[in-house]
Amino acid sequence: MPASAPRTRTREAEEIRSAVLRAKHPGWKPERLVAFRQSLGWSRATLARRIRRIDPSNVPFTPPMAGELQVMRHERGWSYPGEDWQAAYSHVTGATRVELGFCARLSRGEPSVTAGGLPPGAPVADDGLAQLWTSQSLTTAWQEVMTTVDSSMERRQFIALSGVALTAAAHEWLVADPARLASALAGRRVDAGVVADLTAATDTLRRLDDKLGGQAVFGMVTEQLRVVVGLLRNTSYSQADGQALHGIAAELARLAGWTTYDAGRHGEAQRFYLVGLRAAHEADTPGVAANILRCMAHQARSNGDPGTAIELLRSARAGSRGRLTSTEQAVLAAGLASAYGVAGDRDSALTASDAAYAAIEQSQPDEEPPYLYWAGPYTIAHSVGAALMSTGDPTGAIPHFQTAIDRIGTDLPRDRLGFVLNLAMAHTRADDPDTAIGITREAITTTTVPSSIMADRISEVCQAITATGHPGASELAEHARETV
């Protein structure tokens, strides 16, 4: 078994390798692949998934078994994509090899294809939401966002925001001054009983998301959101009930954003998050707003932008102005640990990890908000393990992942599956593919939660095990294809 499998190289070694590869391929510009993918609003996971779905019988090349890890290595210049990879990237994006940065000029006779996955002039994620934080703008924003899920319309695609554009849109939460709720709107009056029923229904949808997967509940979430938005626009209510309705709408928008993200529609997910953040401000619920920013940070980090994730999480803490529970503080600190880990800042990751563990020890379960029912010591242990993995310490990550698995129980099957897959990846990187194969096989055999994120993660683990040269890797990959 090779001692220096690609997944075990240090970042420094990868950068040295990158310099050698760039010298060998002078026309190669990996940053163009990144830019083109982001212009489509795709995550690395989405790009890999589209490549895996290529029908070999319809193309003149062999589609690779793509995973998010290999896409990341191509984008960072750590691995030069071979001919089949280049052909696959061009096939799914509709771009030429030059546009994707693989070469400086096209070969004679190579077609120049420029049509991408989005139509010309596709809108960005905050299109139509420019006045989101001005007085009386929320009703218009709800109408604009809900048109994206109207079954009678062709689904619109949106270019995802990143970096400064995304943090600037989210930072409005820190400075906006909420307008006073209107005393009455035309129509029926909403009372506390209606609010209680809607609150209970929203909690049910949260738990269904964990058990069935986001794609299974997306329609139910958006229909419930449609009902709440209709009440906000067409009924009268007291100030307290109005704030409660805005809080419910904010949480439903977060759920819609999360399930849309799970389906790989990143720009659309950001639209839900942004309007949900505005509604949370109207409801004066800093915890809900902070949780939305946490989800936005998770999306940014997963898309390879830890800097934006860190800024969003800092905004979540600053905007809450000391009104978060211990568990809310712990979850934000854990998110920071993961983001710092991806950014390669080990010291900051460990500091944030210590803060997360300290906060979760002070939690009072009876006082925690219902939208954090999924969080506990296991959540923190998993985030710390992920941070250590990102900084190149898979051996140190293993006990944290194992602790997370031992403590999470069976009520959160999707989260538990993610924990187990990360443990398998840690064993793989720590040169123990035997254990990784056993863990992965059991996980995908016993857990069936429809989730494109988990499917991509399984593919990554299988690909990493294959890279070690283990003889059982091909059988595991075949089992995964049949099961997932």
356 pLDDT higher than 90:
yes
* pLDDT for the residue numbered 106: 44
Residue type at position 221? V
85 and 130, same structural domain? no
77 and 151, same structural domain? no
Range of the structural domain that residue 52 is part of: 6-93
Sorting pLDDT into bands at 50, 70 and 90, what band is 182? very low
pLDDT tens digits for 450-476?
566 777 788 889 989 999 999 998 888
pLDDT: which is higher, 156 or 432: 432
CB neighbours of residue 337 within 10 Å? 28
* pLDDT for the residue numbered 94: 80
170 and 60, same structural domain? no
Sorting pLDDT into bands at 50, 70 and 90, what band is 289? very high
Sorting pLDDT into bands at 50, 70 and 90, what band is 325? very high
pLDDT tens digits for 105-116?
544 334 333 333
pLDDT: which is higher, 301 or 412: 301
* pLDDT for the residue numbered 335: 95
Question: What integer is the mean pLDDT of 32-58?
Answer: 86
Query: Residues 86, 100: contact at Cβ < 8 Å?
Result: yes
Asked whether residue 48 is assigned to any structural domain, the reply reads yes
Sorting pLDDT into bands at 50, 70 and 90, what band is 127? low
Asked whether residue 100 is assigned to any structural domain, the reply reads no
273 and 167, same structural domain? yes
Question: What integer is the mean pLDDT of 169-173?
Answer: 53
What is the Cα–Cα distance from 275 to 71, expressed in whole angstroms? 31
269 pLDDT higher than 60:
yes
88 and 131, same structural domain? no
* pLDDT for the residue numbered 349: 93
Question: What integer is the mean pLDDT of 6-20?
Answer: 61
Question: What integer is the mean pLDDT of 394-410?
Answer: 93
* pLDDT for the residue numbered 451: 66
What is the Cα–Cα distance from 435 to 484, expressed in whole angstroms? 20
162 pLDDT higher than 70:
no
Asked whether residue 470 is assigned to any structural domain, the reply reads no
187 and 74, same structural domain? no
Indicate the range of 15-24, 80-89, 178-187, 205-214 predicted with least confidence.
178-187
What is the Cα–Cα distance from 280 to 247, expressed in whole angstroms? 5
Total domains in the chain come to 2
pLDDT tens digits for 414-432?
888 899 999 999 999 999 9
78 and 151, same structural domain? no
Question: What integer is the mean pLDDT of 335-347?
Answer: 93
pLDDT tens digits for 359-376?
999 988 888 888 888 889
Asked whether residue 393 is assigned to any structural domain, the reply reads no
136 pLDDT higher than 80:
no
CB neighbours of residue 21 within 10 Å? 15
135 and 75, same structural domain? no
74 and 191, same structural domain? no
pTM: 0.62
Asked whether residue 375 is assigned to any structural domain, the reply reads no
* pLDDT for the residue numbered 166: 59
263 and 166, same structural domain? yes
Please report, rounded to a whole number, the percentage of residues in the chain having pLDDT higher than 70. 76
72 and 157, same structural domain? no
Sorting pLDDT into bands at 50, 70 and 90, what band is 287? very high
Sorting pLDDT into bands at 50, 70 and 90, what band is 126? low
Please report, rounded to a whole number, the percentage of residues in the chain having pLDDT higher than 90. 31
What is the Cα–Cα distance from 352 to 341, expressed in whole angstroms? 10
Mean pLDDT computed over every residue of the chain: 79
3-state secondary structure 200-254: HHHHHHHHHHHHHCHHHHHHHHHHHHHHHHHHHHHCEECHHHHHHHHHHHHHHHH
269 and 144, same structural domain? yes
128 pLDDT higher than 60:
no
130 pLDDT higher than 70:
no
Asked whether residue 373 is assigned to any structural domain, the reply reads no
Nearest to residue 36, comparing CAs of 71, 84, 66, 78? 71
What is the Cα–Cα distance from 202 to 331, expressed in whole angstroms? 21
209 pLDDT higher than 90:
no
Question: What integer is the mean pLDDT of 79-83?
Answer: 85
Domain boundary residue, one of 324, 340, 365: 324
* pLDDT for the residue numbered 113: 31
Question: What integer is the mean pLDDT of 377-394?
Answer: 93
